[in-house]
Each structure stands twice: as C-alpha cells, then as structure tokens.
Amino acid sequence: MAPSTLTALAGETTLQSSFVRDEDERPKVAYNHFSHDIPIISLAGIDDAQKRCQICSKIVEACEDWGIFQIVDHGVDSNLISDMTTLAKAFFALPPEEKLRFDMSGGKKGGFIVSSHLQGEAVQDWREIVTYFSYPIPRRDYSRWPDKPEGWIDVTKEYSEKLMGLACKLLEVLSEAMGLEKEALTKACVDMDQKVVVNYYPKCPQPDLTLGLKRHTDPGTITLLLQDQVGGLQATKDNGKTWITVQPVEGAFVVNLGDHGHYLSNGRFKNADHQAVVNSNSSRLSIATFQNPAPEATVYPLKVREGEKPILEEPITFAEMYRRKMSKDIELAKLKKLAKEEKQMQEEEWQKPKLEAKPLEDILA
Ligand code: OGA
Ligand code: NI
C-alpha cells in the first residue's frame, strides 16, 4: 500500500520510481555547494531619501542581471519569522492523519498536499506543502488553514500581512525604476492576491535522482522566500546554462520576480529560473509568499523603452497568461513522455531480431 505522506517514505532506502527524474533534469550541483554570486541587499534606510537611491539601484541591477536576490534588514520582526518557522515544522511533524484532515487533493482551495505534480507529468516532486490563499482578505477561507499547531493561524495572518507590506515596498522601487509612479506595479495587479506556500522537503534516500521542486519560473509578480539554513534552492545563470545553489542567509528573504513582473517590465527584469534539490542528511523547510495580480488584471508591458518592441503581442488577462503557461508545460511534459516511450520502443525493436533469431537457430540446428 502506498504510504499516505512523504515523510513515511523518507525512511526507505531506495527511491520509489515515481520520483526518479530523467538524467537531464537531475541535480547538477550539490545542495550545500553554496554560491555567493546572488546579491545580498540591506534595506536599512530605504525610507530615508538619501540612502534610498543607493539601495534602489542595487535592487534594480539585481533584477536586471538575475531576477533573484536576497534582502536583509527588511523590517520583518525576527520573532515573527522564527514563530512561523517553528509552527510550520511542528505541523509537518504531526501524524499523517492530522495533516490529511486538510488534504486539498480534489480541488480544494488551500490546505495540505503531498508531492503535487503537473497534470500529464509522470514524475513527482519530493515535497509536502501547506498552502494558504491569504489575500484578498474577504476571500480567505479559514476552514482550509490548519488549526494545529495551536496559534499557527494567528501567526500566519500576521506573517502574510507583513510580507504584503514588504512586497509592495519592493514593487514601489521597481515602479520608480521604470520611470513610473510608485504605485504603478501594485495598481497593475488590480487587487493583489497573495498565496503562502510552506514547502517541506523530507530527507530523501536517493537525492541525486530526484528534485524537491522541478525547474520553473513563478507565474506572479514577485515572490519572497524564507528558507532555513540547510540549502537546496538553486537558480541558473548564463541564460539557464549553469546552476548555482543559493547560500542560505539567516533571517533573509530570497526575492525573485515572476512571469508577470517580467512581462510588465517588458523583459527588463528577469523571471528567474529556479528549482529545489533535496538531500539525505536533513529535511528542509521553506516558506514562499507569492504576490500575484488578480485573475482579471491585464498583463502587458507598462513601459516599452525606446528602441524596444513589446514582448507580448496583445494584452491578456493574468488568468489567460497562467492558462497558457500551464498548457505549454503540460504539452512539453507530454512530448517528453512520448519521446521517452519512443526511445524505449526503438530499443525493444532493436533487441527483437536477436530474440527471434534464437528459436530459428534452434530449428536449423
Ligand atoms: C516555490 C519555490 C523554492 C524552495 O515554492 O515556487 O521555488 O527552495 N521554492 O523551496
Ligand atoms: Ni518558485
């Protein structure tokens, strides 16, 4: 019988085949081989006119070069961060039946799910998650927010509010960098959505064969990720050719731009390609806060610089952008699966005559 959660699989010595990735998708760099390439930016003094300019230019440069950077001195209380992390860890340590009370498979909005994977894709991610749809506030459904461990709901409410504030501050900087009014990017989101995803990556028996979360770009405007000290977040450089492991920095948020942010800036700000790898020494926790536009918000460059062409043919809604992204991903996954099956068939074909030759030789002998 299949175990009900991943944590139960973590004790096995070999990886179940549903998690084994094709060779080209497997990790290239170790989870703890940290790179120092990605900028770490202090936000101390961002509200003070003199310092602001300097900080903003660092953020803008990081968005142009990488689409991913880390921020420290961001003003989110370290006690809040540590409460959020402690409570999240306590949730994943609960027995399977407690976690599965919030099971969101079957289309429920928010709750717990094991190794979610794309439709049409055979290979599963090595992770468990809890998802909260936290903004807009009137649409919150607290019945989908885990009520254990005690106090987690209140801490999550505060965490989500503080991160909304921080994300908006960063979007102000990017709006100004585009030569627009401060609120331009948040206004383009109409009524900003926020989704908090707590990722738990249990220890993995054969981490070299699998991924915690496969390579992707985030669809939304901007993402703030809190990770523990284990390591496992990887991003690409050299236009996707080289992988690096992001160095965990205590109390920092990793900020990355999503597809929406990329399109709104007409491609000036990168939507960083990233993935999460796992390891056999320790489990890992990360909390991703996705700031997304409302589904009906328009996706189209807010600013097209001189000599540039818009990177989108026509304005589309965010819902449509997301639908296209998903169907492209599903299509790619299908093609990959087909190519794999074809290769297997060819290999079998190649072996066939030899198998058939044997009885023939027997007959002639
Ligand atoms: C994500 C994500 C990376 C990580 O949740 O979209 O990229 O390190 N997470 O957990
Ligand atoms: Ni991501």
Instruction: Give the model's pLDDT for residue 107.
Output: 83
The per-residue pLDDT for range 69-84, each reduced to its tens digit, is 999 999 999 999 999 9
308 vs 149: CA distance, rounded Å? 52
| Ligand 1 touching residue 226 (CB < 6 A) | no
68 vs 63: CA distance, rounded Å? 6
Structure tokens at 292: 């997304």
Helices (H) and strands (E) in the chain, counts: 8, 15
Q: Which residues pair with 98 in a beta bridge?
A: none
- Residue 36 phi/psi, 5-degree rounding, is -110, 15
From the alpha carbon of 288, which atom of ligand 1 is closest?
5
Give the Å distance between the CA of 276 and the centre of ligand 1: 6
Q: Do residues 271 and 234 touch, judged by C-beta distance below 8 A?
A: no
- With the most atoms of ligand 1 within 8 angstroms of its CB, the residue from 113, 129, 199 to mutate is 199
- Tokens 């968005």 belong to 63
Torsion of CA 103, 105, 107, 112, to 10 degrees: 40
Helices 152-177 and 49-65, interaxial angle, to 10°? 90
Among candidate residues 211, 213, 185, the one with its CA nearest the CA of residue 197 = 213
Among candidate residues 151, 167, 207, 187, the one with its CA nearest the CA of residue 297 = 187
| Ligand 1 touching residue 199 (CB < 6 A) | yes
Homologous superfamily of 16-302+310-346 in CATH? B-lactam Antibiotic, Isopenicillin N Synthase; Chain (2.60.120.330)
pLDDT at 121 over 70: no
| Ligand 1 touching residue 256 (CB < 6 A) | no
Burial class (CB in 10 A: 0-12, 13-18, 19+), 337: middle
Among 13-27, 109-123, 303-317, the range scoring the smallest mean pLDDT is 109-123
From the alpha carbon of 199, which atom of ligand 1 is closest?
10
| DSSP code per residue over 295-340 | TTSEES-S---TT---SSSS-EEHHHHHHHHHHHHHHHHHHHHHHH
Domain boundaries, the chain: 16-302+310-346
The per-residue pLDDT for range 196-252, each reduced to its tens digit, is 999 999 999 999 999 999 999 999 999 999 999 999 999 998 778 899 999 999 999
Instruction: Give the model's pLDDT for residue 126.
Output: 95
Q: How confident is the model at residue 307 (pLDDT cuts 50, 70, 90)?
A: very high
Among candidate residues 328, 104, 127, 332, the one with its CA nearest the CA of residue 213 = 127
41 vs 62: CA distance, rounded Å? 9
Q: Do residues 196 and 160 touch, judged by C-beta distance below 8 A?
A: yes
Torsion of CA 280, 250, 287, 284, to 10 degrees: 10
| DSSP code per residue over 243-265 | EEEEPP-TT-EEEEE-HHHHHHT
The pTM of the full predicted model, rounded to 2 decimals, is 0.92
Question: What does the pLDDT average to over 282-296?
Answer: 98
Among candidate residues 351, 199, 193, the one with its CA nearest the CA of residue 275 = 199
| Ligand 1 touching residue 233 (CB < 6 A) | yes
